[in-house]
Amino acid sequence: METNNKKINQMHLDLLGELGNIGSGNAATALSQILNKTVYLDVPHVELCNISEVASSFGDPEFRKTAVFFQTQQDVKGYVLLVFEDEDVKKISKIAAGGLEIDPDSVITEIGNIVAGSYIGALASMLEGKIDLTPPQIAHDMLGALIDNIVSLICVVADELVIIKTKMTIGNETIPSFFILFLEDESLNKLLDYFNFEK
Amino acid sequence: MTNINVGMGEIKTSKTPNNILIAPGLGSCIGITMYDKIKKIAGMAHVVLPSAKETTGKAALLGKYADTAIPEMIAKMKDLGAQTKDLEIKIVGGAQMFNLERGGNILNIGMRNILAVKTAIEKEKLKISASDTGGNKGRTLKLNVETGTVLVKILGQKEIKL
A67-120 per-position pLDDT tens digit: 999 999 888 888 888 888 888 888 888 888 777 888 889 989 988 898 888 888
CATH number, domain containing residue A88: 3.40.1550.10
Q: What is the DSSP secondary structure assignment for residue A58, as one 8-state letter?
A: G
Question: A51 lies in which domain range?
Answer: 10-190
Please enumerate residues of B whose Cβ is less than 8 A from a Cβ of A.
5, 7-10, 24-29, 46, 48-49, 54-57, 60-61, 64, 95-102, 107, 109-110, 137-140, 153, 155
Question: B16 lies in which domain range?
Answer: 2-161
The helix (H) or strand (E) run that includes residue B8 is none
In a domain, A199, yes or no: no
In a domain, A4, yes or no: no
ipTM value, please give it: 0.88
**Cβ-defined contact of B107 to A153 (cutoff 8 Å):** yes
Number of domains in chain A: 1
In a domain, A172, yes or no: yes
Q: What percent of chain A has pLDDT over 70?
A: 93
Task: Tell me the per-residue pLDDT of B63-111, one tens digit each, with 9 for 90 and over.
Answer: 999 999 999 999 999 999 999 999 999 999 999 988 877 665 667 889 9
CA distance B39 to chain A (A): 28
CATH number, domain containing residue B57: 3.30.1330.200
CA A124 to chain centre: 15
Across the A:B interface, residue pairs with CB atoms under 8 Å apart total 113
Nearest to A88 by CA among A170, A179, A181: A170
Strand locations in chain B, DSSP E? 2-5, 11-14, 19-26, 30-36, 41-47, 87-93, 101-102, 105-106, 128-133, 139-144, 150-153, 160-161
Residue of A nearest to B25 (CA): A144
Nearest to A112 by CA among A63, A79, A76, A150: A79
Distance CA A59, CA A165 (A): 13
Number of domains in chain B: 1
CA distance B38 to chain A (A): 30
